[in-house]
Structure 1
Amino acid sequence: MKKTLLILFIVLLLIPLSPNAKDSLSDKNDVFSFLQKAFQAQISLSDQTRTKQEIRDVLSPYFSEEYQKMFWDENMFEEEGKFVTYGSDFAFYYIPFFQYSGETKVVISPESIYVLQFFPPTTDGPVSYEDHYEGIMLKKMDGSWKIADYLYDNIPKSIIEKAY
């Protein structure tokens, strides 16, 4: 009995308590969960002002350094020596407002993951736009998946064909 408990205890120690989704995104649900967490990280930057290092710490688990720079240049504003984002209906480099349903397509390959969705035209409300695709490309970097590119109507045709 003691031997069995010892073996069970050792096995439990070897199993991670919280799997790290960014290391293995094996299906659509994993990818959706990762993107939703990344989006939450982005919008959390509007809650309070933060230092540059605090912002890096929030974004680094999800975004490549290059993507963080693009996001920073477009969305971060300085207030009294710290930084914050402001809300907008159409802010570049935020995770798109995906449906996270059958409308949102995922194309997984060993070196990249494309997430895309077709958005029909809208003229309602304060923001209007023509029909277009929006997407995100993830790349494996140092063993972890990171959001590496924001795609707005420049998704490769081969990826659109695979998705649809």
Structure 2
Amino acid sequence: MKHLLRTFLASLAIFIVFPLLNVKADRPLSEEEAFRFLQEAFDAQLAITENPRSMEEIEESLGRYFTKEYTKDFIEMNVKENMDGEGYLAYGTDFALYYIPFFTYDENTKLGYDTERDKWYVYEWFEESSEGPVSYDGHYEAVGLTFKDNEWAIDDYQISFDPEGLSDNPTVEKSENDQSEVTKSDDGIWGIVLGFIKYASVTPFASLGWISVE
């Protein structure tokens, strides 16, 4: 009786506390998969510059590849009402933000995992340029991908990126991080839960004479 009661209370406590824990995704992502996804996302962005569309169509098209927040930022920055008054277009500029960068998708384009941000980044070094209407120093540009609601989505754009500390394999590192996080951050929660199980599974029923406290 006591054993079954403790098992039940332990299961109940875990069910209650589990949503409070910091669960992180460590889904693997290959370069081929990431590059193909970014190229398709870029094509979706370019398509908005070709023919006027309704705002609903634009949001639906971008929503296949970008999070709602990223889609909103892209539209606010780049999409304007068509000059003819029918639909909306993305007008190109020499310095358009939130577009997928012109990655080469070769050995110069890299993929790495950021354990702090809990997402993958595709990034590439762009050499200094003083030609054309826009000049810039050499820098890394990056696009962040996250796995949410069982699908990949682009949710970050970095025009000045630092790739130091990225990992090729998130599984091992995140496993170590998760263990330390549970020990440091969630020890208090589990201590309370285990104490509750030990006390609640015995004391109330002992007071009623149903079981004996050892």
* Deviation readout 1:10-67 (Å, 9 max, x if unpaired): xxxxxxxxxxxxxx87310111111000000000001111111100111111000000
Q: Helix, strand or coil: the match of 1:59? A: helix
The answer for the alignment partner of 1:5 in structure 2 is: none
Instruction: Rate the CA distance shift 1:146–1:155 in 2: closer, same or farther, 3 A.
Output: farther
Using the TM superposition, give the Cα deviation of residue 108 of structure 1 relative to its aligned residue in structure 2, in angstroms.
4.1
Measured on the aligned residues, the alpha-carbon RMSD in Å equals 2.0
TM-score normalised to structure 1 length: 0.77
The 5 Å alignment of 1:121-140 reads 121-140=128-147
Do structure 1's residue 61 and structure 2's residue 64 form an aligned pair? yes
Q: Is the 8 A contact 2:114 2:165 kept in 1?
A: no
8 Å contact kept, 2:122–2:143: yes
Q: Deviations over 1:53-98 (max 9, x none)?
A: 1001111110000000110111000121521011223210000011
Structure 2 counterparts to residues 21-40 of structure 1, below 5 A: 26-40=29-43
Would the alpha carbon gap of residues 81 and 25 (structure 1) be closer, same or farther in structure 2, given more than 3 Å must change?
A: farther
Partner of 2:96: 91
4+ residue segments displaced more than 6 Å: none
> Between Structure 1 and Structure 2, whose CA radius of gyration is higher?
2
Indicate the residue corresponding to 1:42 in structure 2: 45
Indicate the structure with greater helix content.
2
SS at match of 1:158: coil
- Matching residue of 2:157: 150
Q: Which amino acid aligns with 1:36?
A: Q
Answer yes or no: is the 8 Å Cα contact 1:115–1:137 preserved in 2.
Answer: yes
Instruction: Output one character per residue of 1:77-130: Cα deviation in whole Å (capped at 9) or x when no partner.
Output: 012152101122321000001111111110147952111111110112333211
Sequence identity percentage = 38
> TM-score, length-normalised on structure 2?
0.60
Is the contact made by 1:25 and 1:145 (CA closer than 8 Å) also made in structure 2? no
Task: List aligned pairs for 1:66-77, cutoff 5 A.
Answer: 66-77=69-80
More strand by share: 1
What residue identity is the alignment partner of 1:112?
K
Asked if 1:100 corresponds to 2:105, the answer is yes
Structure 1 gap segments, 5+ residues each: 1-23
